[in-house]
Amino acid sequence: MTRTPRHASVFRSARERRSGERRVLVEARAKVNLGLEVLGRRADGYHTLSSLLWAIDLADRVTLEAAPAGITVTCDVPDVPLTEDNLAWRAADLVRHETGVAAGVRIHIAKAIPVAAGLGGGSADAAAVLAGLGALWGHRLPPGRLRGLAQALGMDVPFFLGASPALASERGEVLRPVAARLAIPLVVVNPGFPVATRDVYARLEPGDFSGGAAVRALVRAVRGGLPAVAGHLVNGLERALNGLWPGLGEAKAALVEAGCLGAVLSGSGPTVIGVAPSRAAVHRVMARLRGRPWRLWATQTVAGPALTVAVTGSAVGQRRRG
């Protein structure tokens, strides 16, 4: 079932109803990697991966509004870049060039997903702009072209344009849907500082590479319920991250000691996720972890679209002449 964005009420003001101005709000969910294996290093410098990706109900809210020209990004988190270094800005720039739309856009990002945490927040925001601008400007790109733009922005971005969960391969951009409706209760632990993905991958050694069997076993385990899933969690980046954050093992152990069935690093980290035996158990685990120097979230996996788009008003886009 599609969830209604909590900020959908911003569309309902009398002024907006009178003006008919189009505004788009996208709920951009975070993702977790319940399993990730690095199969090897490619000639182009990327790594070949196998990963089970799943959206969760922790989400940024990305609001798109028409502007006469240009691209403006604002955010309620001070450390987020606001120009060309921001993936959402770059997504808008790609769409403008691809569609030939003359109008501009104001983008506001209300962050709930921690930055550079292995939860795909920047990629989710970029996907939100790719999907939302079609609705704002009234010029929807064919799915293949949209996926091409997503891939140009980053290998995590295509996942957010599709359905959760999915099995990712190659550089992470080749996705195969996984038939699973299981809502997995999770405790999310973040140490409160960012880690750059490139720094983690730079520390990989040949011994960190594997053949993909562990992730395939995890996908099969999804049919067996929560204990089976928890018993097959895997992330081949953990050793590399441990050199940047020696507290990784402590965080995983603390989650299990507090009542989780298992714990694993998400993506390139430093966020760690614990699989709880039930929704009620999530809150018990969090209560036992309070006082630790970490940020905590209670969440669960979400099956279906990784983005939810809400629209009001009339299309505003115009194609450039010439």
Q: Which residue has the tokens 């040949």?
A: 206
Amino acid (one-letter) located at 226: L
Given 60, 111, 156, 252, the catalytic residue:
156
Active site residue 156: yes
The two three-digit tokens of residue 83, written as one number: 């120009």
Contacts of 247 (CB under 8 A, 6+ apart): 191
Evaluate whether 81 touches 45 at the Cβ level (below 8 Å): no
The two three-digit tokens of residue 114, written as one number: 């921690």
How far from the centroid of its chain's Cα atoms is residue 50's Cα?
A: 17
CA dist list (Å): 23 to 8, 55, 252, 315: 11, 25, 42, 9
Q: Hey, what's the torsion of the CAs at 185, 189, 195, 199, to 10 degrees?
A: -60
Evaluate whether 104 touches 71 at the Cβ level (below 8 Å): yes
Picking from 65, 63, 69, the residue whose alpha carbon sits closest to that of residue 101 is 69
Contacts of 213 (CB under 8 A, 6+ apart): none
Given 31, 60, 111, 125, the catalytic residue:
31
- Residues designated as active site: 31, 156
